[in-house]
Amino acid sequence: MTDSGRPARRRTRWIRTAQAVVTVVLLVLLWRVVGGPDVADLLATAHIGWLALAVALLIAHTIFAAWRWKVTAAPLGLHLSARTAVEEYFLAQLINSALPGGVLGDVGRAARSRHRATLRVAAGAIAVERGIGQAALAVVLVVGVVVTAALPGGFTLPRPWLAGVSIGIAGAVLVLVALIMTTRVLARRHVAWAARVADGMHRSTTGPGVRSAQAALSMVAVACLLAAFWCCTAAIGAALPVGAVATLVPLVLLSMLLPVSIGGWGVRETAAVALLPVAGITGAQALASSIAFGVVALVATLPGLAALWTARHAAEPTASGPACAPEPPASGRATASAPIPRPNAPHTTLSEEHP
């Protein structure tokens, strides 16, 4: 390791350690504040059928997201088979859930797929695909807020919450528009990185049927994600109304984007305890629901272990591979398959020697 690389590695270790500490501190504080024994009782008596359905929905979510990645990468020249996309996505989800940072799985996914195009193209396709997924979740949030505010009856956000969420959504939209416009302006001025980003975003979202496929796959994937969280609330006996699922749960899940914990643990639970009681459930039920969701999400990534085993098995030399090929005979030594030719002997075929 070079001297220049030591500070970066040391900084990375400090960041990972801080994320682990934040995760533990948040979970311990929440456990004490909302009543840990009550949360434990709710988790111990959770309905296994609802949890199993949540696992199935999250597996379906990963499959639809992998297909979205395949559709997004193709216009960039990165062509993936359906099986490769699904296996790689499951493996990335497993690593993202288990390791600090939340993006190490995507980094590995880009590195393993770079031989199909380039590392820049592979990373760009993943960035655009993940961005589309988060945008779809935000769209559901906006629609949910508008619909619940417009329709009387049912679940409705309290006015202070509605104002805060509306301001947050407006701010996020303004930031996104500003970033897009800035990138386009810099691209027109021939700034290299901006031109590459603008070109990649344009190519990965255009083409026959690309946008419609991305939109459809994203909506189905988000529906599976929200339904899985609802199943976790139902499993502990605190099923949320549809309006709360469309407005509060997206906020809970979007909080996991904050890179301050391991796999979103602690941050997601904090958001759940702060937001879900607005829908009429207790803090203990909110914490138990979020913990249950985190556990079933980890279980749903276990197919990534099969993908990891397949990748390692494919990399091992087989008995018929080059690693096991016989060594060539040493010069001047006769073998059964390489007889020493007789000097000045006429060349004969098998039929000439044995008429």
What is the C-alpha to C-alpha distance for residues 257 and 132, in angstroms, rounded to an integer?
A: 14
Quick one: what percent of the chain has pLDDT higher than 70?
85
User: Pick the residue with more confidence: 63 or 112?
Assistant: 63
What are the sequence ranges of the domains in the chain? 15-308
Average pLDDT over residues 173-188: 84
Quick one: what percent of the chain has pLDDT higher than 90?
41
Helix, strand, or coil (residue 314): helix
pTM, full prediction? 0.81
pLDDT for position 160:
83
pLDDT-derived band at 339, boundaries 50, 70, 90: very low
Average pLDDT over residues 66-71: 94
Assign residue 285 a region: left if phi > 0, alpha if psi is -120 to 50, beta otherwise?
alpha
What is the C-alpha to C-alpha distance for residues 81 and 85, in angstroms, rounded to an integer?
A: 6
What is the C-alpha to C-alpha distance for residues 251 and 272, in angstroms, rounded to an integer?
A: 9
Average pLDDT over residues 66-95: 90
Question: In this model, does residue 116 exceed pLDDT 50?
Answer: yes
For 260-298, the pLDDT digits (tens) are: 888 889 999 999 999 999 999 999 999 999 999 999 999
pLDDT-derived band at 14, boundaries 50, 70, 90: confident
- What does the DSSP 8-state code read for residue 325? P
pLDDT for position 318:
45
Look up tokens 């993943």; give the residue: 126
pLDDT for position 230:
97
What is the C-alpha to C-alpha distance for residues 251 and 65, in angstroms, rounded to an integer?
A: 20
User: Pick the residue with more confidence: 56 or 200?
Assistant: 56
For 203-221, the pLDDT digits (tens) are: 888 778 899 999 999 999 9
CA 179 to chain centre: 23
